[in-house]
Amino acid sequence: MTSTIDQRKIRYAVVGLGWFAQEAALPSFVHAENSELVALVSDDATKSEELSKKYGIKHTYSYEQYEDCLTSGEVDAVYIALPNHLHCEYTVRAANQAIHVLCEKPMATTEEECEAMIKAANDNNVKLMIAYRLHLEEANLQAVEIVRSKQIGESRIFNSVFTQQVEEGNIRLRDVTGGGTLYDTGIYCINAARYLFQDEPIEVFAVAASKGEERFSEVQEMTSVILRFPNERLATFTCSFGGASVSTYQIVGTQGDLRVESAYAWQAELKHYLTINGETKERIFEDHDQLAAEFIYFSDCILQDKNPEPSGTEGLIDVSIIQALYKSIETRQPVQIETRDRHQRPTSAQTIQRPPVEETPDLIHAAAPSKES
């Protein structure tokens, strides 16, 4: 018999109303049957007014009123879509008021901030999930199963390219807000290598390059990375804010390989090209509402008192790797990493599919990072 709490919807406040929140998160609540959007937090009065009308939201708050939002009794959880450098503060404040937190990646900009977020969640007995949407997405989870089942033999090599043109003035190009290629796009490549190899890197090396354009005065234009995993496996990737739009990875085993196209996209068909013993099969995965899947999964974790798989520890590991990569860029030397235990990994059992958002909403005082988005 289903209990009352099982039937209740988790009530969310969306904190930060930039491009991704407006285009991806807000429209997805219509597909998240156990979740309800009840509040918006932003310092932009026009955004708050127009978006609250569009989505029928009664409660809007400025950042100064964030504490009022948390203590209002109207909110069970927050989805934090703020610039990276604010993730820690707004997570800790929510946890301290016993509000559950779904925080965008990267989790934070330092390991110390990540650890503070985990401690606040644990101390207040609230759920903390980092928004790794691909941990719920069918094409990536099927890639995990292909590797785990050794269809391509023993996995040996991971390689990825994730690039886009980011326009001057975009927040991703600001150092003070935690921008840069590794935090913004490289994190996807790092995380994919980890969930495909089902392991943690033990040594990293990175180099950065930039042509000296004004837009790259604070962050690197591009970064190339090598991650050494146990059992002598290697992962390599290049991420860039100055290249055409490419989002792909390939994992090579002793008997075959799998290539995933549009691998990291949040709204697109994803494609598998699986080659075994020289024979290639193509599989197309239809576009789905990945943000709705996140809200459904996190709400279910709250309602059923389950620990989310993409936990604070998952976010902490990626941030620690990124910090090691920046150290490698600075020293021009490989950097050893202390391996953390990570027993939870995404599996196909986590797949959640909902229809894609039907139309792209008009943006209010926000812009996509590139014209191609």
Digit-coded pLDDT (tens) for 179-198: 889 999 999 999 999 999 99
Q: What is the 3-state secondary structure (H, E, C) of 227-260?
A: EEECCCEEEEEEEECEEEEEEEEEEEECCEEEEE
Distances from the Cα of 73 to the Cαs of 12, 16, 39, 63, 120, in angstroms?
A: 11, 20, 11, 17, 20
- What local confidence, expressed as pLDDT, does residue 71 receive? 98
- The predicted-structure confidence for 296-319, as pLDDT tens digits, reads as follows 999 999 999 999 999 999 999 999
Q: Tell me the C-alpha distance between 79 and 165, whole Å.
A: 27
Task: Answer yes or no: is pLDDT of 4 > 60.
Answer: no
Token pair listed for 277: 């013993």
Three-state secondary structure call for residue 165: strand
Buried b or exposed e, range 106-131, using 16+ CB within 10 angstroms: bbbbbbebbbbbbebbeebebbbbbb
Q: Please check the confidence at residue 1 and state whether its pLDDT lies above 80.
A: no
Cα separation, 323 vs 309, whole angstroms: 23
Distance CA 121, CA 302 (A): 13
In the block, tokens 């209740």 appear at 8
Distance CA 141, CA 164 (A): 24
- C-alpha to C-alpha distance for 212 and 218, rounded to whole angstroms: 10
Encode pLDDT of 334-372 as tens digits.
Answer: 999 987 878 889 999 999 999 998 878 888 888 888 754
